[in-house]
Structure 1
Amino acid sequence: MMLAPSLLRAQETRMFTSNRPPASARRFVSKAVEGEITRVSGLIKDPELAWMFGNCFPNTLDTTVTLGTMDGKPDAFVITGDIDALWLRDSAAQMRPYLHLAKDDAHLRELYRGLIRRHARCVLLDPYANAFTRDPKSTDGLHWSKRDKTEMKPGVAERKWEVDSLCYVLRLAHDYWQASGDTEPYDATFAQAAHTIIATFREQQRVAGPGPYRFQRMTDQPTETTLAGIGTPTRKTGLIHSAFRPSDDACTFPCNIPGNLFAVATLRELAVLASAVLSDEALAADARALADEVEKAVFAHGIMQLPDGRQVFAYETDGYGNYLFMDDANVPSLLGLAYLRCLPADYPLWQSTADAVWSEANPWFFKGAAGEGIGGPHIGEGQVWPMSIIVRALSSDDDAVIAWSLKTLRATHAGTGFMHEAFDKDNPAKFTRKWFAWVNGLFGELVVKVARERPQLLTADYAS
């Protein structure tokens, strides 16, 4: 006997038991986030999609947050998931999905204050480090970084210089203030960190030399180390140099264009924050001036032509006219420039670039029986990162693209109810990282955005 549709849906709902930790074991609880889970889940017709959202959206708060105090003020440590360290990039991105709820949740605001303060102290400890230990006095680091040839300080977990790490510090600080109106964490320590970020960016324009940073690793993977500790030679054009990409893989050419455009955007946001909150007009002027320099350099040296004649942004360049066209799923990416507010979504050059990276013009674009998307050297060929699918949807105003993305994500979580770092293009049961909080939160962010802007897409049957 066939069940009536309403009974069938009820039966399906009972099949999807929450994979969240028990309430007593959750690291942080926000009433506003819990209310958002209930509200948005009620808009989703598909039981499996609703179950995934309920698992993923709170994953950072459930599993990665430690909130304490330092010097009588909030201090937050947010790990990336299955690695017990705080990445500046990941932790900022992990907290992004809850920003719209912070204004009405004092406990959540305390968490943001703690993370912004922790970020500022990390920058002052070492602006060239990408990841930090829970204990700022620890000399343990991560086990794979113990023999790195670089200046490892206590409190540093890994020291890969990535321009986007400092951009994410600025982005979180700006967006939290904009979302909440709270000015409490923007003290002298934060101001000093902001000045340090600008000084580091200028140092890595390398106009007067390569600067103090050096990094080499004993490894059989070339993406884990740099040539001579600083990377390949460059012409000094005003672009900010980076040793590593947002994937933690070494740059082929040291001038990463998505990272530079992200720096432009976040420096301008810092200028607004510096003027309105810090009352530091010198800092604001310095941030604007550097943003203008870097933007000019991007448009003079970061645009290339594909073999078919299309003009696109390069992924990396050396300033000598050598370009690398590819994209990596980790954000900032070429695909993610509109999502990160570096460029408008209707900007023609970005649109042509986004079309190209979501195609065989990009060597790290893969298409198989399970799905299609962008991966990267970090995991290797044939591996699609759900992050790329999510970022494409977050950047799109095409209902068909967004619906396809939701359906593909629903079909490739391998029954776990969570997103993963990567899945095999032909078999999603082969995946990496079962606990990767950034991409879980990013999926939740997508669903919340769809609920706000296109709620009709959540009433679709994605099982068919």
Structure 2
Amino acid sequence: MSACLSRREAMLGGAAAAALAAGSAKAQTFVSHRPPTASRRFVSPAVEVLIKRVKAKVADPELAWLFENCFPNTLDTTVFLGEAGGKPDAFVMTGDIDCMWLRDSSAQVWPYLPLAAKAPELRTLFRGVIGRQARCILIDPYANAYMRDPSARTNLKWSLRDVTEMRPGVAERKWEIDSLCYPVRLAHGYWRATGDLTPFDAEWRQAMTVVVRTLREQQRKDGPGPYAFQRPTTLATETLMLEGRGAPTRKVGLIHSMFRPSDDACVYPFLIPSNLFAAAVLRQLAELSTEVLKDPVFAAECVAFADEVSAALKAHGMTLAPDGQPVWAFEVDGYGNALFMDDANAPGLLSLAYLGCIPHDDPVFRRTAALAWSERNPYFFKGHAAEGIGGPHAGLDLIWPMSLIMRGLNALADGDDATVLACLRTLKATHAGTGFMHEAFHKDDPSKFTRDWFAWANTLFGELIVEIADRKPALLARPLDSIA
């Protein structure tokens, strides 16, 4: 797909769907869809060993084929490794759009972290990603996506007329809290997995100062802050009201996010999943500051900030379920107004435990996740082919495989084998013969889907299979069709 196509334009038409259906029989031979070894963007022997080990545990041939295609997709197709200032530099594009999202790039490489301690090639990759992300943040912390060439102007056709400060190197400038959270999560995870201090140089330290400063600015205690964004468009989810500042809020200590992880505009600017994520990663940054940077002053600042956001979340971040029990809201405005829904992107309500924001066994999280997977969520869709969560980004009746994967990961943590198997069956039945995950598919007809090359969803699916193989291998020991 062209990098100039928007995600909304990626829905397959009738002719493509027909061709896909015609090719589905061929896909049943389960021949690998990976590029030839010589054509792969990045090769890791450690990942190849893991693929063989896990695949040997998967008795269902189609599920094993999906895993082999999906898990290495980020490495096979999206990594551009080089050097910057004598250090590794890794640009990780999202797939069919040749730009690097801070969120997507972090999530795309995350499942390879457990291998990094014993795999020097992966340590080079992670050093490169962490360094590139720091440099992106220093270009503009309010951007969500960046160009491969840091001196280039955006080539995304939907960004060309945006009314905001577009700097060289920025592909899109939608302010999303999680864009700054994911690089911290990745850096912390890398350090915990490897003990390697190499990436945490003066440039990275400067970027972390900018992260905290930007999150503080977006509490907007002393005015609206420097960020504004408008886009000439007929789509309400693509622009911001009130001269690009977003809907009014009462300043209660929460952080404003103008856009969601889906890149859709927020209805109410206090996006609760992203604020919970911010509180969690500020504590991770405090740990890094103490143990790696040896900067107790900055660590204390991060802890105090996290405490403030956590207190504001407890005071303003919940709403009531129909039975009167408290659940996390999706968005609030500080005046008492709340929106309950969920969006398949992470962070969302369903992914809070996965991201380490809340314990899996927390009763409020359990109630929230159950309510999100129900008709109380206007973006929960149930059809002839599947049920799951979507969002306004792709449109009504379109389920995101990421929601099914996240539900499977939650169920695995809870010991709910039946739900894990149900998610696997649905994922196996809805890839439309392509051998890969997609952004979204129609609840009644999986041959209608968006984004045939979406590396985050592919790698996340691979992470699910690895987790099952390590924690509940018996669930993979028989073909899915043979398990009642």
Report Cα offsets for 1:311-332 as digits up to 9, x if no partner. 2110000000000000000000
Contact 2:27 2:433 in 1 (8 A): no
CA distance in 2, matches of 1:286, 1:391: 32
Answer yes or no: is the 8 Å Cα contact 1:226–1:250 preserved in 2.
yes
Residues in 2 aligned to 1:306 and 1:321: alpha-carbon distance in whole angstroms: 15
What is the TM-score with the length of structure 1 in the denominator?
0.96
- Which segment drifts farther, 334-343 or 308-317? 308-317
Structure 1 residue 118: Cα displacement: 0.4
Any idea what SS the aligned residue of 1:312 has?
A: strand
How far residue 14 of structure 1 moved from its aligned partner, in angstroms, is: 8.5
The equivalent residue for 1:7 is: none
Correspondence for 1:412 among 423, 430, 445:
430
For residues 415-438 of structure 1, the C-alpha deviation after alignment (integer angstroms, 9 at most, x for no partner) is 111000001001111111000000
Q: From 67, 73, 76, give the equivalent of 1:59.
A: 73
> Is it true that 1:454 corresponds to 2:468 in the alignment?
no
**Partner Cα distance (1:14, 1:107) in 2:** 34
Contact 2:154 2:171 in 1 (8 A): yes
* C-alpha distance in 2 between matches for 1:460 and 1:291: 45
Aligned identity (percent) is: 62
Distance 1:440 1:13 in 2: 17
Alignment of 1:363-382 (within 5 A): 363-382=378-397
Counterpart in the other structure of 2:447: 429
Secondary structure at 1:428's aligned position in 2? coil
- Please identify, of 276-285 and 145-154, the stretch whose mean Cα deviation from structure 2 is larger: 276-285
Aligned mates of 1:77, 1:347 — CA distance in 2: 37
Establish whether residue 216 from structure 1 lines up as the match of residue 234 from structure 2. no
Match of 1:443 in 2: 461
* 2:274 equivalent to 1:259: yes
After the TM superposition, which residues 199-348 of structure 1 pair with which residues of structure 2 at under 5 Å, given as runs?
A: 199-227=213-241, 228-348=243-363
What residue in structure 2 maps to residue 101 of structure 1? 115
Any conservation in 2 of the 1:102–1:180 contact (CA below 8 Å)?
A: yes
1:84 and 2:98 matched: yes
Q: 20, 24, 38: which is aligned to 1:24?
A: 38
Aligned counterparts of 1:104 and 1:155: Cα–Cα separation in 2: 34
Counterpart residue number, 2:377: 362
Return 5+ residue gaps in structure 1 as ranges.
1-11
Query: Where in structure 1 do 4 or more consecutive aligned residues deviate above 6 Å?
Result: none
1:5 aligned residue = none
Counterpart AA for 1:183: L
Residue identity matched to 1:158: E
Residues in 2 aligned to 1:461 and 1:101: alpha-carbon distance in whole angstroms:
28
Q: Are 2:55 and 2:68, in contact at CA under 8 Å, matched by a contact in 1?
A: yes
Do the aligned partners of 1:141 and 1:155 also contact (CA within 8 Å) in 2?
A: no
- Bigger relative contact order (CA 8 A; separation at least 6): 2
2:169 corresponds in structure 1 to: 155
Instruction: Find the partner of 1:164 among 178, 185, 188.
Output: 178
Match of 2:23 in 1: none
Aligned partner of residue 480 in structure 2, secondary structure: coil
Provide the rounded CA distance (Å) in 1 between the counterparts of 2:138 and 2:154: 19
Deviations 1:64-101 (A, max 9, x none): 00000011110000000000000000000000010001
Matched letter for residue 387 of structure 1: M
Is the counterpart of residue 401 in structure 1 residue 419 in structure 2? yes
SS in 2 for 1:143: coil
Aligned residues: 453
Question: Is contact 1:13-1:48 (8 Å) kept?
Answer: no
Give the Cα separation in 2 of the matches to 1:298 and 1:351. 17
Q: Following the alignment from structure 1 to structure 2, what is the Cα–Cα distance between the partners of residues 305 and 461?
A: 41
Q: Name the CA distance, whole Å, in 1 between partners of 2:162 and 2:179.
A: 19
User: Deviation at 1:13?
Assistant: 11
Per-residue deviation at 1:461?
1.8
Match of 1:130 in 2: 144
1:153-205 alpha-carbon deviations (Å, 9 max, x no partner): 00000000000000001000000111111110000011111111001011000
- Paired letter, 2:481: A
Q: What residue identity is the alignment partner of 2:239?
A: T
1:194 aligns with 2:202: no
Measured on the aligned residues, the alpha-carbon RMSD in Å equals: 1.1
1:141 and 1:156 in contact (8 A); partners too: no
Report deviation, 1:460.
2.6
Match of 2:82 in 1: 68
Asked whether the equivalents of residues 386 and 421 of structure 1 are also in contact (C-alpha less than 8 Å), the reply is yes
> Among 47, 50, 53, which residue is 1:36 paired with?
50
- Deviation, 1:308, is 3.6
Distance across 1 between alignment mates of 2:77 and 2:214 = 33
From 113, 134, 138, give the equivalent of 1:120: 134
Which whole-Å CA distance do the structure 2 matches of 1:452 and 1:249 have between them? 36
Distance 2:153 2:255 in 1: 29
Matched residue type, 2:62: E
Partner of 1:47: 61
One-letter amino acid matched to 2:283: R
Could you tell me whether the CA contact under 8 Å between 1:271 and 1:284 is conserved in 2? yes
Aligned partner letter, 1:412: T
What residue identity is the alignment partner of 1:249?
D
The one-character-per-residue Cα deviations of 1:283-312 (angstroms, maximum 9, x if unpaired) are 111111100000000010011113442321
Amino acid at match of 1:256: L
Match of 2:398 among 361, 376, 383: 383
Equivalent residues of 1:41, 1:54 under 8 A apart: yes
Residue aligned with 1:463, SS: helix
Q: Which shifted more, 339-348 or 139-148?
A: 139-148
Contact 1:76 1:115 in 2 (8 A): yes
Moved more, 387-396 or 157-166: 387-396
Q: Secondary structure in 2 aligned to 1:67?
A: strand
- CA change 1:141–1:293 in 2 (3 A) is farther
